[in-house]
Structure 1
């Protein structure tokens, strides 16, 4: 367990926290809602290895060598040259801070962090964190890497094994409003970028089943049609091996360590957040049955009816472009051309 404190005075700024992997949705804009979801679970934190905050520089001011040193291989609007290692946590896990009144800029319904750190240490008034809760953004607090330090860092329990991860609770794809879960949109957006990078520009075939509404239309839109399609399937701990093995496999990413499950043979792994993968792996079992007997195929009970989306699934475009720009494969001419053409119209199908 870790407690973060102020580097200026040593005051405790957080509850005890356990480190987890940074969510794919960390920098996602998911729509305009009066109350946005909370990014991090209670009692957890994640570290963003990329620089964040000022100074910012426009792409035209950055040399290719400087961009690649930050792991960026394709044009973006601007890059941060601030400190690495910002810490994300749930707002409820923050302690001993106060809002800085003149840094409360926001777009619509809350704070968006555009004015820089907006929370100060109560003891010494040092700016230490940025609270974000504006309507298109996840609710989160980002601790400034240079303003905080670990003041208690006790050994944590061993990470859960894959059997325990698979037995965990999955993340439902549909929320109570009938909309797609934005975490699903984010992790599919990231996986879509990695599938394109691994495709070598050849078509990818997605089988019927739970993967089809998430990936098939997007891959058919972004990749050219033709013979010789490579296969994509779900794989991971507890799932039976298929013959022949797929060319690419969507596999779980460990929620604690970020480790990606490795399929056997030459199959290329493409990670999904574990909670999404778990739901997909169990999807064939989600058939509603009466207490006794059975129902005809395609007939469902009405107590209650399963949640259904009221619109077609769309991967998160901002997560897709963010991920693709940071994959070295985007330097290949065909993928660089696709990236730049799609950035000119980011809301076009399939996004």
Structure 2
């Protein structure tokens, strides 16, 4: 984004919900706007399970005000049908997505270029009832083979629906984001920043550590165990025997629902668990900016994903 400072332009600040069906790139878009990885991503639907705040701060540009956008990344809205959709976790995730609209100034409806289905309609209807400005974000335009089909698709999607603006983007390639940020800021009230300019999320490092382990589980085991795993951080502490802040010691418990699933996570000779831990640790070191010593264990709690009490214990809202 432009870093040219314009002292005469009023600062704008507010919150924006990021809404859409599963797997359209909401978390990738949030990370791209924040400029750091705060939301985990994988190619599996329902990777995002929590409502998460990403803080994007922008200096004034030639045609855009300085501002701060609090992006509320959400689980994908989905219809309540099928085995997973009837579970307690599914209901918690839908509540988290709908609850993200409380008190926000605007919203982005994120869809995939070339595709609109019933769950997109569900998300649009939820936003229509909220009474706030909605920008349509058509993501993954880099994957659209026939670029000439984009304009007819935009016309089709916009027919009979009201949007404050339409933005074709590629969150992964960071294409189209400058124009999007400019319009988002203009939808927000004139107000001072809500957070420090170096803050990127309201979540703790402990929470982010658990999410990074779960990201590796979704990436490596999403096809085998799409919803049967969660992560609990049992230990998160600086090593006091070393220079302050030099090393974090983290203990992560991977919870599954059956003994057979435990064996899948551990893998032959412990190879799968070792790989999950190694890749998680590297991501933590990149995000936290310091060395990490990570220990992982796998434990069984039967039926945790359909148990409201267990979900609350594991931090699900």
- TM (norm. structure 1) is 0.27
- TM (norm. structure 2) is 0.29
Larger radius of gyration: 1
Higher helix share: 2
